[in-house]
A = this chain, B = another copy of it.
Amino acid sequence: MAKHDPDLNLIFQALSDPTRRNMLAMLGQGAQPVTVLAKPSGMALPTVMRHLSVLEDAGLISSEKTGRVRMCRAKPETLAAVDDWLAQQKALWEGRLDRLEEYAMKLMEAERGTGPEA
């Protein structure tokens, strides 16, 4: 369903902030309550909640409230979309290098064919 498709615009936007990348790194080590995630930044809770909401909208984390505690979890499968995009870029780049190599080989062969020994 479209709602669950990873959206690279939202993902890259979410990753463009160091506080949010720190939060993701903390969650990489396991689920954490919002209060723990808030500690290193020293930010006010509403600011922290705003950052977490950007990460959640991008599908990079999920959160669940039990009683008065909101637990956050990383969704590493969403980062696979970034991995796929990078792989596509590399394929374009390497395809280009292959074509350059092919061209260089043709030039060398042509040169050999018309060289002084020919």
Residues of A at the B interface (CB closer than 8 Å) are 8-13, 15-18, 21, 24-25, 28-30, 74, 76, 79, 82-83, 85-86, 88-90, 92-93, 95-96
Report B-chain residues with C-beta under 8 Å of the C-beta of A17: 9
Nearest-neighbor residue (CB-CB) of A9 within chain B: B16
Counted per complex, copies of this chain come to 2
Nearest-neighbor residue (CB-CB) of A20 within chain B: B12
Between A and B, 22 residue pairs with Cβ closer than 8 Å are A8-B18, A8-B21, A9-B16, A9-B17, A11-B16, A13-B13, A13-B16, A16-B16, A21-B85, A24-B89, A25-B88, A25-B89, A25-B92, A28-B92, A28-B93, A29-B96, A74-B93, A76-B89, A76-B93, A79-B86, A83-B86, A86-B86
